[in-house]
């Protein structure tokens, strides 16, 4: 197979760029921990009230500036539908679904993950600016999908 000289230049450039992207992504993920949300814990989506983690969804403080938010996504809202944290807090979100597939998405941040029934998914985010953050479901979940939302109140101290 004959390759033109310029085509060789192009393939080296093109494949080199792809390799560079993969290297950057791999280092960010496997060395610095910026992984895509891929939590492996499973639950019984039809019996969340008996689940040790999700029987009482809500916010718990882990240490001075870290919180764990355990949330249930359900057509068409979240339980609880509002949480409050002081500015500068890091919140670990742990979310599952009581019915169909949803998402947990804070627009303008990297928190944007799928919530599949039977599975728990996680992400964490540090809120450095005060304000009322919008959380939406961006995965189609039925006729009321566009109403599905909650709020995160980040309070300045």
Partner 1 sequence: MGKSNLEMKTSTITTKNKEDHSSLKGTLYFVLFVGSFILVSWFAVFFLYLSRI
Partner 2 sequence: MRQSNVVIDYKYDNEPDISVDPRDGKLGMVHIHVAFVAFIIGVFGGLLQGLARGGMIQLPTWLGYYQILTAHGVLLALVFTTFIIYGFFFAGMSKTHGTFSSRLRKTGWVGFYIMLVGTLIATVLILLNEASVLYTFYVPLQGHWLFYAALALVIVGSWISAVALLTHYFKWKKANPDKPTPLFGFMTTATLILWMVAGLGVAATVLVQILPWALGLTSEVNVLLSRTLFWYFGHPLVYFWIMPAYMVWYLVVPKVIGGRLFSSSLARLAFVLFLLFSIPVGFHHQLMESGVTEFWKYVQTILTFVVVVPSLLTAFSIFATFEQTAREKGGKGVIGWIKTLPWGDVRFFAPFMGMIVFIPAGAGGIINASFQLNSVVHNTLWVVGHFHLTVGTTVLLTFFGMAYWLIPVLTGRRFTKHANRCGIVQTWLWVIGMFLMSGAMHILGLFGAPRRTAYATYGDHPQALQWFEGIFASHVTVAIGGVILTAAGVLMFYNFIHLAFLAPKGHTEFPMTPDPVDTPNTPAYLENWKLWIGIAVVLILFAYTIPIYEMIVNAPPGSPPFNFLIK
User: What's the half-sphere exposure (Cβ side, CA atoms, 13 Å) at 153?
Assistant: 8
- Are the CB atoms for 110 and 125 separated by under 8 Å? yes
- Strands 66-74 and 90-97, by their bridges, are parallel
Q: What gap in Å lies between CA 55 and CA 48, rounded to an integer?
A: 6
**Contact call for residue 36 and partner 1 (CB under 8 A):** no
Within the chain, where are the H helices? 5-26
Minimum CB distance to partner 2 smaller for 12 or for 62:
12
- The item of partner 2, partner 1, none sharing an interface with residue 99, based on CB under 5 to 8 Å by kind, is partner 2
**Contact call for residue 116 and partner 2 (CB under 8 A):** yes
Residue 143's closest CA among 112, 100, 79? 100
**Contact call for residue 146 and partner 1 (CB under 8 A):** no
Residues 67-106 within binding reach of partner 2 (CB under 8 A)? 75, 99-101, 103, 105-106
- The item of partner 1, partner 2, none sharing an interface with residue 52, based on CB under 5 to 8 Å by kind, is none
Give the shortest CB-76-to-partner 2 separation in angstroms. 8
Residues forming contacts to partner 1 in the complex (CB under 8 A) are 4, 6, 9-10, 13-14, 17, 21, 24, 34, 108-110
């Amino acid at each position: 197979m004959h390759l033109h000289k310029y085509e060789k230049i192009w393939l080296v450039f093109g494949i080199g760029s792809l390799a560079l992207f993969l290297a950057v992504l791999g280092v960010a993920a496997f060395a610095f921990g910026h992984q895509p949300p891929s939590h492996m814990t499973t639950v019984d989506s039809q019996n969340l009230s008996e689940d040790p983690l999700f029987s009482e969804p809500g916010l718990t403080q882990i240490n001075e500036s870290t919180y764990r938010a355990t949330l249930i996504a359900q057509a068409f809202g979240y339980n609880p539908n509002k949480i409050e944290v002081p500015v500068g807090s890091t919140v670990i979100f742990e979310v599952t679904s009581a019915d169909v597939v949803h998402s947990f998405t804070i627009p303008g941040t990297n928190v944007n993950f799928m919530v599949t029934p039977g599975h728990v998914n996680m992400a964490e985010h540090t809120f450095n600016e005060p304000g009322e953050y919008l959380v939406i479901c961006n995965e189609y979940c039925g006729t009321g999908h566009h109403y599905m939302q909650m709020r995160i109140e980040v309070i300045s101290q």
